[in-house]
């Protein structure tokens, strides 16, 4: 530093009176100003040169310190086992890992060579994989799939594959399948979840022996034939001795059931889901399980814990004698598309479900009369008496009067804690004033009084509706608070047709502050509906 340089105050400048003004100096004054600034500019240049030297010196010192500090950093001294566990904890928990360098586990190999070596040698990191099928035409992706699964050895692997939705007219190219890449590793399959499975792929799966497979989820296209049941679903891959949890989505779920009786007592969770065919032309009567077919399927799986079935009407009288006993069934979900409910009633009356905890019933038929509906609901009440452990009940029925009568008799479900009722959903006819009156009666039936509480153990109530009366809901909540019942949570899903600004928003803050959780969800009715596969290339299939 030049100690002879004296930085004067700005007010000491001989041109101070002209600074920060619009004054234009003369030629002679310009020469004077330049002469006056010369020592200041020289000092500025000297300081900037000094700063540059110091900056370079600082950079050299930092570059010398950094690698030495890296030698003594905590991550470098972590045991390999701990690093592996941290890596495993980075993996997604709701779906299988994806093939993206922006996501674990591939991301973990981009940090440093040491961690990359740990990642590549840790089988747990590669024991799950989601594949977006349209990408497998790329040879590099194919090689990546094989290398990924090879790294997972010797662990069981969880696999999912996502295809694009098929539109009509459709083609099913046999070469466009991921299965040839996966089958060599079938001995280690633990979970397999595939969408848009073609008939060709189904036959490939039927020939596979996968001894570790515990969970299967297959979403089929509509090219299966009714004669394929014995060949496909009698195979080990679908109902093998280790496959305990099976989910099948298909436009033709009736094709799942082989024509011959097969004993599958090891199966604990069975789900059959009907969806519309790709061209939208499939017939319910030809596609969904008849009651007798459902009986045949259930009779071969007597130790189920969870069962979901879509059912249609029978053309023959069904007599279940003696009643079927399911000593382990805890959850039953039944979607009835029947045009006559008599056989469905016989089906329910023929069940003995002593351990049933969750009952989910959807009545989709639009032609059954009120008497039939009431008879079916009476049948459900009888089931409630025979199944005293039911805690969770879901009911979806388009007919409000019969639903109201059912709700008024909920006392038969003496342990009921969670009640879920769909009073209106997209696809139902638009509600009218009469429906609102019935719904008001329905809420009043659930509102506890000093004399009567039809659900004394009720803790949670979910209602899906289109219209509502704010006052009747307020009375329901206030009554539960005043009588200090066990009720703690209300969830309302309210559908609206057009403008959300027309919604009369319920103020629930007063109840939340007093210990009740109240959730009001406003959802616009979709302009179109139907089966659509909305998963992206990298989202993966969400685990149940």
Band (172; pLDDT cuts 50, 70, 90): very low
* Section 118-144 average pLDDT: 88
Helix (H, G, I), strand (E, B) or coil at 490: strand
Residue 175 clears pLDDT 70, i.e. is over it: no
Q: What CA–CA distance (Å, rounded) separates 363 from 369? A: 12
Percent with pLDDT over 90 in the chain? 28
Q: If residue 131 lies in a helix (H) or strand (E), which one and from where to where? A: strand 128-132
Residue 95's contacts (CB-CB under 8 Å, 6 or more residues apart) are: 130, 160, 539, 540, 541, 542, 543
Q: What are phi and psi of 94, to 5 degrees?
A: -95, -15
Helix (H, G, I), strand (E, B) or coil at 424: coil
| Segment of 112-126, 252-266, 425-439 carrying the highest mean pLDDT | 112-126
Query: Is 213 among the domain residues?
Result: no
What is the residue-averaged pLDDT of the chain?
A: 80
DSSP 436-460: HHHHHHHHHHHS--SS--S-TT--E
* Section 287-292 average pLDDT: 74
Cα 125 from chain centroid? Answer: 22
Percent with pLDDT over 70 in the chain? 77
Query: Is 143 among the domain residues?
Result: no
pLDDT for residue 330: 95
pLDDT tens digits for 430-465? 555 555 666 778 788 889 998 889 899 999 999 888
Residue 390 clears pLDDT 90, i.e. is over it: yes
Q: What CA–CA distance (Å, rounded) separates 178 from 198? A: 12
Residue 46 clears pLDDT 50, i.e. is over it: yes
Domain count, the chain: 2
* Section 248-262 average pLDDT: 76
* Section 93-118 average pLDDT: 89
470-473 CB contacts, 8 Å cutoff, 24+ apart: 470/504, 470/506, 472/440, 472/443, 472/444, 472/447, 473/443, 473/506
Half-sphere exposure of residue 87, counting CA atoms within 13 Å on the CB side? 29
The DSSP bridge pattern shows strands 331-336 and 358-363 to be: parallel
pLDDT tens digits for 511-527? 888 889 988 888 887 76
Query: Is 472 among the domain residues?
Result: yes
Domain termination residue (choose one: 71, 101, 124): 71
Query: Is 516 among the domain residues?
Result: yes
| Segment of 95-99, 389-393, 509-513 carrying the highest mean pLDDT | 389-393
Residue 110 clears pLDDT 70, i.e. is over it: yes
Of 227, 231, 235, whose CA–CA distance to 255 is shortest? 227
Of 485, 472, 486, 477, whose CA–CA distance to 519 is shortest? 477
13-17, 102-106, 233-237, 526-530: which has the minimum mean pLDDT? 526-530
Domain termination residue (choose one: 9, 41, 71): 71
pLDDT for residue 373: 65
Query: Is 57 among the domain residues?
Result: yes
pLDDT for residue 491: 92
96-105, 388-397, 400-409, 476-485: which has the minimum mean pLDDT? 400-409
Query: Is 326 among the domain residues?
Result: no
Helix (H, G, I), strand (E, B) or coil at 403: helix
The number of residues in the chain equals: 544
pLDDT for residue 382: 82
| Segment of 183-192, 394-403, 418-427 carrying the highest mean pLDDT | 183-192
Query: Is 141 among the domain residues?
Result: no
Query: Is 109 among the domain residues?
Result: no
Domain that holds residue 58: 26-71
Q: Which tokens hold the place of 370?
A: 């009120």
Residue 537 clears pLDDT 60, i.e. is over it: no
Q: Which tokens hold the place of 232?
A: 């496909």
Q: If residue 29 lies in a helix (H) or strand (E), which one and from where to where? A: helix 27-71
pLDDT for residue 236: 72
pLDDT tens digits for 467-494? 667 778 888 999 999 999 999 999 988 8
Band (372; pLDDT cuts 50, 70, 90): low
Residue 222's contacts (CB-CB under 8 Å, 6 or more residues apart) are: 250, 251, 252, 277, 278, 279, 282
pLDDT for residue 498: 67
pLDDT for residue 137: 75
pLDDT for residue 461: 94
DSSP 134-146: GGGGSHHHHHHHH
Of 373, 304, 378, 300, whose CA–CA distance to 336 is shortest? 373
Burial class (CB in 10 A: 0-12, 13-18, 19+), 459: middle
Cα 356 from chain centroid? Answer: 25
Q: What CA–CA distance (Å, rounded) separates 202 from 231? A: 10
* Section 355-359 average pLDDT: 94
pLDDT for residue 8: 64
Q: Read off the pTM.
A: 0.73
């Amino acid at each position: 530093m030049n100690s002879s340089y004296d930085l004067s105050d700005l007010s000491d400048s001989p041109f101070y009176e002209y600074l920060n003004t619009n004054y234009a100096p003369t030629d002679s004054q310009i020469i004077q100003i330049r002469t006056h600034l010369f020592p200041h500019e020289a000092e500025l240049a000297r300081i900037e040169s000094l700063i540059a030297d110091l900056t370079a010196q600082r950079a050299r010192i930092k570059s010398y310190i950094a690698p030495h500090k890296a030698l003594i950093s905590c991550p470098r001294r972590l045991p390999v086992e701990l690093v592996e566990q941290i890596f495993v904890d980075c993996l997604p928990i709701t779906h299988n890992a994806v093939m993206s360098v922006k996501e674990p586990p591939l991301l973990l190999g981009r940090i440093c060579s040491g961690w990359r070596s740990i990642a590549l040698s840790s089988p747990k990191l590669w024991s799950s994989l989601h594949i977006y099928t349209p990408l497998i035409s790329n040879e590099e992706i194919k090689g990546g799939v094989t290398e990924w699964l090879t790294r997972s050895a010797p662990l069981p692997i969880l696999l999912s594959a996502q295809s694009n939705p098929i539109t009509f007219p459709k083609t099913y190219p046999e070469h466009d399948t991921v299965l040839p890449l996966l089958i060599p590793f079938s001995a280690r399959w633990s979970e397999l979840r595939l969408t848009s499975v073609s008939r060709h792929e189904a036959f490939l799966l039927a020939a596979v022996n996968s001894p570790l497979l515990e969970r299967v989820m297959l979403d089929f296209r509509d090219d299966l034939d009714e004669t394929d049941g014995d060949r496909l679903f009698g195979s080990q891959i679908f109902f093998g001795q280790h496959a305990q949890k099976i989910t099948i989505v298909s436009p033709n779920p009736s094709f799942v059931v082989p024509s011959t009786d097969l004993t599958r007592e090891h199966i604990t969770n069975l789900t059959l889901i009907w969806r519309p065919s790709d061209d939208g032309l499939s017939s319910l009567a030809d596609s969904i399980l008849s009651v007798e077919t459902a009986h045949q399927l259930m009779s071969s799986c007597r130790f189920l814990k969870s069962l979901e079935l879509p059912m249609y009407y029978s053309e023959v009288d069904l007599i279940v004698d003696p009643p079927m006993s399911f000593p382990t069934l805890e959850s039953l979900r039944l979607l009835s598309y029947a045009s006559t409910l008599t056989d469905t009633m016989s089906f329910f009356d023929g069940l003995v479900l002593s351990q049933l905890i969750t009952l989910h019933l959807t009545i989709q038929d639009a032609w059954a009369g009120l008497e039939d509906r009431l008879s079916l609901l009476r049948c459900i009440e009888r089931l409630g008496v025979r199944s005293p452990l039911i805690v969770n009940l879901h009911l979806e029925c388009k007919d409000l009067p019969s639903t109201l009568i059912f709700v008024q008799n909920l006392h038969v479900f003496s342990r009921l804690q969670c009640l879920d009722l769909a009073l209106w959903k997209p696809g139902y006819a638009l509600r009218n004033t009469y429906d609102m009156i019935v719904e008001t009666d329905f809420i009043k039936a659930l509102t506890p009084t000093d004399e009567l509480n039809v659900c004394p153990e009720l803790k949670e109530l979910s209602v899906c509706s289109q219209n509502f009366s704010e006052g009747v809901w307020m009375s329901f909540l206030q009554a539960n608070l005043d009588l200090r019942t066990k009720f703690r949570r209300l969830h309302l899903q309210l559908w609206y047709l057009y403008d959300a600004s027309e919604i009369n928003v319920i103020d629930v803050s007063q109840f939340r502050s007093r210990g009740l959780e109240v959730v009001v969800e406003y959802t616009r009715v979709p302009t179109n509906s139907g089966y659509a596969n909305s998963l992206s290339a990298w989202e993966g299939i969400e685990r149940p």
